[in-house]
Amino acid sequence: SLKTGIVGLPNVGKSTLFNAICENGKAQAANFPFCTIEPNVGIVAVPDSRLQTLSDLSKSVQIVPTSVEFVDIAGLVKGASKGEGLGNQFLANIRECDAIAQVVRCFEDENVIHVAGKIDPVEDIDVINFELALADITQIEKRLERIAKGRAKTKEEIASNEIEKGALERIVASLDQNQPARAVPLNEEESVLVKGLQLLTMKPMIYAANVAETDLADQGAGNHHVKALREKAAQENCEVIIVSAQVEAELRELDPAEAEEYLQSLGASEGGLTSLISAAYRQLGLLTYFTTGDKETRAWTIRTGMTAPQAAGVIHSDFEKGFIRAETVAYEDFTDAGSTAKARDNGKLRLEGKEYIVKEGDIMNFRFNV
């Protein structure tokens, strides 16, 4: 499944946040095996209020949310790309991830040592992103050397190597200017050719500002570290999520009523975890469709652009092979109508074929041959 790697300098709150995410996942889905599968890998339920609404309408016995994976990637220090600390292992772990959540320390606490001796989110980000960029440059140089050796034989291979080389040279130029690979415009052919390198700075990045509990009420507006971070992220077109790892950890210890009371006393509404998980889901280019009935209401994850048979294949490969058609209704049309039968009466239930591109929130009922 798709993974988001949690990175950041030591002592910024990565593990605290990772543990809170995993505890939250367990609480959201008591009857589903969301869990920490390895000490640093957790499968987490994606919170979605539409599930409860659908389940109420269908009188479902159970709800099954969809999930994303988070990986706590420790060990990045200055010099990681040169193999310092757990450098190489760290970079290999990130390479396997589909998106990156970078935790940035925006809280002051003299009891928690900062590796650089002072709180400076923009500088912290530069350290991390510099290591990622160096790793990418090394990777690209190796690839360019291989292309230069000229093993390509056919005309097509030579032509495609030329295109790849051009794209890689533009990416290196961008990295040299402190700009990530994802900032370089590539056409479709170039994207495909470059994809194999799994460049770290090509992956979508979310910045998670770890703030003090007093910063939750105004979402960090009064915190100049958060302000600096937002400006930096805006230049890179990246999302910023405000979260307090410590508060999230404390919330997991409380029962729901106490947790609600605690959040209210801080002037905060929903936990930052929900925003972080949702942002990760979005950045991964994922959509949710639903199946609903008296047995269960369930969310399924697909990639943007998948057709109805491909979406059916997420449930079972036989569904894709034997796909005939899908009965589908948009989430709002279903909840407006209150049932499939009413939605049909309203003319909102559609029959869709193999070409149909599934949309966010579609409720699907697949017809297939076995």
Binding positions are: 11-16, 211
Decide if residue 334 touches ligand GDP (CB under 6 A).
Answer: no
Q: Which of 4, 7, 13, 26 binds ligand GDP (CB under 6 A)?
A: 13
Decide if residue 223 touches ligand GDP (CB under 6 A).
Answer: no
Decide if residue 85 touches ligand GDP (CB under 6 A).
Answer: no
Contact stretch for ligand GDP (CB under 6 A) within 9-17, 83-91, 252-260, 359-367: 9-17
Closer by beta carbon to ligand GDP, 11 or else 304: 11
Chain positions 287 to 326 lying near ligand GDP, rule: CB under 6 A, are none
Decide if residue 214 touches ligand GDP (CB under 6 A).
Answer: no
Rounded to a whole number of angstroms, the minimum distance from the CB of residue 262 to ligand GDP is 14
Decide if residue 10 touches ligand GDP (CB under 6 A).
Answer: yes
Q: Which of 28, 55, 210, 307 binds ligand GDP (CB under 6 A)?
A: 210
Rounded to a whole number of angstroms, the minimum distance from the CB of residue 109 to ligand GDP is 4
- Size of interface with ligand GDP, in residues (CB under 6 A): 16
Rounded to a whole number of angstroms, the minimum distance from the CB of residue 188 to ligand GDP is 38
Which 3-state string (H, E, C) describes the chain? Answer: CCEEEEECCCCCCHHHHHHHHHHHHHHHCCCCCCCEEECCEEEEECCCCHHHHHHHHHCCCEEECCEEEEEECCCCCCCHHHCCCCHHHHHHHHHCCCEEEEEEECCCCCCCCCCCCCCCHHHHHHHHHHHHHHHHHHHHHHHHHHHHCCCCCCHHHHHHHHHHHHHHHHHHHHHHCCCCHHHCCCCHHHHHHHHCCCCHHHCCEEEEEECCHHHCCCCCCCCHHHHHHHHHHHHCCCEEEEECHHHHHHHCCCCHHHHHHHHHHCCCCCCHHHHHHHHHHHHCCEEEEEEECCCEEEEEEEECCCEHHHHHHHHCHHHHHCEEEEEEECHHHHHHHCCHHHHHHCCCCEEECCCCECCCCCEEEEEECC
Q: Which of 245, 287, 312, 343 binds ligand GDP (CB under 6 A)?
A: 245
Q: Which residues bind ligand GDP (CB under 6 A)?
A: 8, 10-16, 107, 109, 112, 210, 212, 244-246
